[in-house]
Amino acid sequence: MVSSSLVSISGKMVFLLAINSLLCIPHLAHSSTCTNPPIIFNFGDSNSDTGGLLAGLGIPIRFPNGRAFFRRSTGRLSDGRLLIDFLCQSVNASLLSPYLDSLGSSFSNGANFAVVGSTTLPRNVPFALNVQVMQFKHFKDFSAELASTGVNGLVSYDQFRDALYMIDIGQNDIADSFAHGLSYAQVVKKIPSILAEIKNAIKEIHDQGGRKFWVHNTGPLGCLPQKLALAQNISQSLDSIGCISSYNVAAKLFNEGLLHMCTELRTEIKDASVVYVDVFAIKFDLIANSTSYGFSNPVTACCGAGGPPYNYERRVGCGYPGYQVCDEGSRFVSWDGIHYTEAANSVIASKILSTDYSTPPLAFDFFCQ
Ligand SMILES: *[C@@H]1O[C@H](CO)[C@@H](O)[C@H](O)[C@H]1NC(C)=O
Ligand SMILES: *[C@@H]1O[C@H](CO)[C@@H](O)[C@H](O)[C@H]1NC(C)=O
Ligand SMILES: *[C@@H]1O[C@H](CO)[C@@H](O)[C@H](O)[C@H]1NC(C)=O
């Protein structure tokens, strides 16, 4: 099935799609001046999982996930590319293989440790942030061990030092807390321990030689159709644009803490670059001003069940019996009620690349080798 959002893509893009499906690992000929793309290691949850859940637990992510770009499900929760895919392509880097994917993967330009549903706490369970960092250490140690036996094409010591380390996590820590019935005040009390985990992860990667960090803050949780649909049943107060106030205020408090933590880190690990990106502001603007970005249904899931206003039902996930999917994914911000469409991710990525939302405002291609 070819989606209408694919049809709306220019002839040039369709040509590239055909090439991509032959190469397996897609490249996109963005006008990047990056002749040596950075090696990238990513840690996080479904916002940046490029197939880790499928590889790690075998849980299928069903079509129509992937329909808009890959034209097959790749294990991403979206109709197409995620933010991280657009960021990779902006520097002419290959899309990241999930660390756990044992077939068809190339790790010469980095690896993706992110897995759907991941949290920072509790630790030591698959695939908590500290587990992802331990996996990274194993990856690094094993690369050195194999290199010493003469294996080629591995990430080298210098490349680990020069690599870009990206982190996008925290959303599930906050969301799960609300879902388990914690009050706003109780959720807020958990924020410092979530932040401590992220700080710890960055320091451990720094101890391993990493020097370049790129940290995404968390999005407006209270604007997700899933949360709105569930909140109908538990009566939550909505803000002026129709999002759940308490969820968004908690997300903002987390983000303030994350910004502060990044500032602290810059004084504690002086030889490192730490870029904090305000993804919340970008996503909130996209939802509040959706029509000016060409979207018409900011809080309706394209792929779900139950119809408007949210098209989300807990028991009928996208791709599972009974789901309904919109024709024009490019008109929707939300893909499945939790994750964003490729069209939304594309807008968000271009705003991230503008540096207007970054502290400090380092361009993404600063990290080219
Ligand atoms: C982008 O990557 C491709 C394949 O690795 C390479 O052939 C091409 O020269 C790169 N383009 C730029 C602008 O660096
Ligand atoms: C809300 O409650 C109704 C009635 O109990 C139920 O049918 C519906 O599935 C619930 N909505 C969600 C999103 O769980
Ligand atoms: C929506 O757009 C207006 C005009 O550009 C801007 O002032 C406002 O801050 C935007 N809303 C959000 C939530 O960003």
Average pLDDT over residues 94-100: 97
Atom number in ligand 1 closest to CA 34: 14
Question: Which CATH superfamily groups domain 6-357?
Answer: SGNH hydrolase (3.40.50.1110)
- The mean pLDDT value for 322-338 works out to 98
Question: At residue 143, does pLDDT exceed 90?
Answer: yes
- Res 187 pLDDT > 90: yes
The answer, yes or no, to whether any atom of ligand 3 lies below 6 A from the CB of 156, is: no
Helix (H, G, I), strand (E, B) or coil at 162: helix
| Measured distance CA(44)–CA(29) in Å, rounded | 26
Residues 279 and 294: their CA atoms lie apart, in Å, by 19
Q: Which residue of the set 46, 143, 246, 358 is catalytic?
A: 46
Q: pLDDT-derived band of residue 234, with 50, 70 and 90 as boundaries?
A: low
Q: What is the CA radius of gyration of the chain?
A: 20
Name the active-site residue from 78, 168, 177, 339: 339
369 lines ligand 1 (CB under 6 A): no
Is residue 339 part of the annotated active site? The answer reads yes
> What digits encode the pLDDT tens for the residues 244-289?
999 999 999 999 999 999 999 999 999 999 999 999 999 999 999 9
46 in catalytic set: yes
Binding site membership of 92 for ligand 1 (Cβ less than 6 Å): yes
Residue 223 identity (one-letter amino acid): C
Residue 236: its pLDDT value, please? 76
Q: In the chain, where are the structural domains located?
A: 6-357
pLDDT, one tens digit per residue, over 157-177 is 999 999 999 999 999 999 999
As a whole number of angstroms, the distance between CA 325 and CA 334 comes to 11
Exposed (0-12), middle (13-18) or buried (19+): which is 183, by Cβ within 10 Å?
exposed
Task: For residue 213, give the H/E element and its range.
Answer: strand 212-216
pLDDT at 63 over 50: yes
- Give the tokens for residue 146: 């194999």
Encode pLDDT of 111-133 as tens digits: 999 999 999 999 999 999 999 99
| pLDDT over 60 at 313, yes or no | yes
CA of 298 to the centre of ligand 3 (A): 15
Residue 369 binned pLDDT confidence (cut-offs 50, 70, 90): confident
Start-to-end CA distance of the chain, whole Å, equals 39
CA of 226, nearest ligand number = 2
Model pLDDT, residue 18: 32
Q: Would the pLDDT of 233 be above 90? A: no
- The pTM score is 0.89
Neighbours of 121 (CB within 10 A): 18
Q: Can you give the pLDDT at residue 34?
A: 86
pLDDT of residue 302: 98
| Segment 5-51, tens digit of pLDDT | 222 223 333 333 333 333 333 334 444 678 999 999 999 999 999 99
How far apart, in whole angstroms, are the C-alpha atoms of residue 290 and residue 219? 15
